[in-house]
Copies of this chain bind each other. A is one copy, B any other.
Amino acid sequence: MRSLKERIRTEATVIGSDILKVDHFLNHQVDVDFLQEIAQEFYRHFKDEPITKILTVEASGIAVAVATAMLFRVPVVFAKKAASLNLDQDTYTSEVYSFTRQTSYHMKVSSRYLDHQDHVLIIDDFLANGRAVQGMIDIVHQAGASLAGVGIVIEKGFQEGGQQLRQQGIKVVSLAIIDAMDENHIQFRE
């Protein structure tokens, strides 16, 4: 997605070898006009699939997932990361290690919101090592649902998550794939 790469190139900040900050338009402050362009891209790639649910994980995936679901006109389900009094007892659960937060958490989805009739599109803002997406795929499998694919805004192509998913035969659509980056340069995959 040309406009996304252009925004990353001109506006993102790289810290060290691993952190790409795009929190002024994607995951802390959200540019909602641009979000709708992103959603249109996902719609274009997956519109021929009979999607019934969009699945994401709180928190920063929610904005992208909601904008995408508005185009498919299907519900969004967001997996929960934290225990809550309000969550059903009957859940699909997957344990996920977060490198960003440097801790593991239990990703949970109430079993009322996914079942074997669902055809699921997973949406997230970032894909790096892929642990969050693998957790969501685990939950899709636990529900007996089918997976349409995975839509990612920014993939860190120098980490292994995207490659592992594609080797599993999963359709992964990343709107920008970064193959290398440092404080002076960001190299995108063509």
Contacts and interface: CB of A to CB of B under 8 A. Distances in A.
A69 B32 contact: yes
Contacts of A35: 66, 70
A55 to B, nearest CB: 10
A33 interface: yes
Contacts of A112: 24, 29
A101 B82 contact: yes
A10 interface: no
Looking at chain A's contact residues, the main secondary structure is loop
Contact of A24 (B30, B59, B74, B113): B113
Interface in A58-76: 58-60, 62-63, 66-67, 69-70, 73-76
Interface of A: 19, 21, 23-24, 27-33, 35-36, 58-60, 62-63, 66-67, 69-70, 73-78, 80-88, 100-102, 109-110, 112-113
Given A29-B76, A67-B70, 9 more contacts: A23-B86, A24-B113, A27-B86, A28-B77, A28-B110, A30-B76, A62-B63, A84-B100, A84-B101
